[in-house]
Amino acid sequence: MTPPTSGTTGRALVVGAGIAGMATAIRLRQAGWQSTIVERSPNRRTGGYFIGLYPGGRNAAKSMGVYEHIHTRTPVPPRTWEVDSHENRTRGFGLIEHRDRPDAVLRGDIEEALWTCLDGVPVRFGVSPARIDERTDGVDVQLRDIATDSLSEERFDLVVGADGLRSTVRTLVFGEHKRFMKPLNAIICAFQLQEQVPHVAPRDNLILAEPGRSLWVFAFKDRAPTALLAYRTKDEDGQFTRPPREVLRDRFADVAHAEPIRHALEQLDQAPDLLFDSVHQVRMESWHTRRVVLMGDAAWCISLYSGQGASAGLLGADTLGRMIEKHPGDLAQALAAWERELRPFVRKQQFAARVKGHIFVPGNRLIGLMRRRLVRWGGKKLASMHTGAAAVPASRAEG
């Protein structure tokens, strides 16, 4: 192994080719570092589910020169309907009607833009770290080629674990998942619809939120919507003993007569890909050592309820680059400053996500009633701002 060159720049290994990983590699390159990305999957993901890109992430993407490459799909005007299992409908408000006006995108839209901007950063697919040994003058990493099960060893100045909720880097350096992953007692399933829910305009969003379960339909201006089915459970492990489609059909069986649920379940059977997973947050006292840093879901996993996961990944990457530039030649100081700056934002968003969880999936009947009143109030305000936006066929309107 050749020792890395000392000085204000260095050589980084970024583990994970998702949003946080690619953004970090781009920003480190802009700070003068050489980065290599390794990704466990054999190839790059495309498509994916709905994401709201909020101002923090949007500004970070602009700072890195990435935003101009992101294909945004926000419907104009944004409009959301709340419907119950009896198909009564009223005006509501969804994620893209948030006061911050996030962009509506697919996860793959951001990843495609980042991929375009990598500009020569090498990416090795089908590779994962098997051992990480941190030393005073560098980090020795044993890398496993998953296809051949062969091992190789390289030295880096910095290792970035951007490999998601169940991070390999976090396990190797910080400890077992159970120490850091805090369950929110819910399951989500995100997938692409082939066509919009019947009797809903192509660019309208729809929410059906019953106590303990919900359906969210996220519309785009130029393609079919994506759907999110969610439900609460205290037995998360038990949800993975059967095929996801079978589990979901059982969970929504008694409301399957409602047209939106029936449509979603039919489309679920046709979906080529789906994300079926439990909902967690990651809570850690520190996200870094002297030469290893966690990024994105591996570090904090604000959770899907926050809507800020992609934005936080972009913001974290941009902040890391700025701190390395601000503290040239002192990586430990740069990482400490990076964490100090990000902690308040992450703490705020994690708390908000635990509250928003009851907006996504009401925990009980009382919370469901309170949620419905809040949604009606917000929906009326939005409708008053857009003349004619609240028009809805009388047979579908809630009296």
Looking at domain 11-68+108-180+281-355, its CATH architecture is 3-Layer(bba) Sandwich (3.50)
Residues 82-106 pLDDT 10s: 998 888 888 888 888 878 899 999 9
Model pLDDT, residue 378: 61
User: Which helix or strand (DSSP H or E) is residue 30 part of?
Assistant: helix 19-30
Kindly give the parts of the chain with pLDDT less than 50: 1-7, 386-399
pLDDT for res 201: 94
- pLDDT tens figures, 303-339: 988 889 999 999 999 999 999 999 999 999 999 999 9
Q: Which CATH class is domain 74-105+184-279+361-385?
A: alpha beta
Q: What is the pLDDT of residue 309?
A: 94
The per-residue pLDDT for 380 is 58
Q: Which ranges in the chain are annotated with CATH 3.50.50.60?
A: 11-68+108-180+281-355
CA 81, 232, 223, 95 torsion-angle sign? positive
The residue whose two tokens read 């260095």 is 10
**CATH 3.30.9.30 domain range(s) in the chain:** 74-105+184-279+361-385
pLDDT value of residue 5: 35
Q: DSSP for 339-393?
A: HHHHHHHHHHHHHHHHHHHHHHS-SSHHHHHHHHHHHHHHHHHHHHHSTTTT---
Instruction: Write out the two tokens for 125.
Output: 């697919």
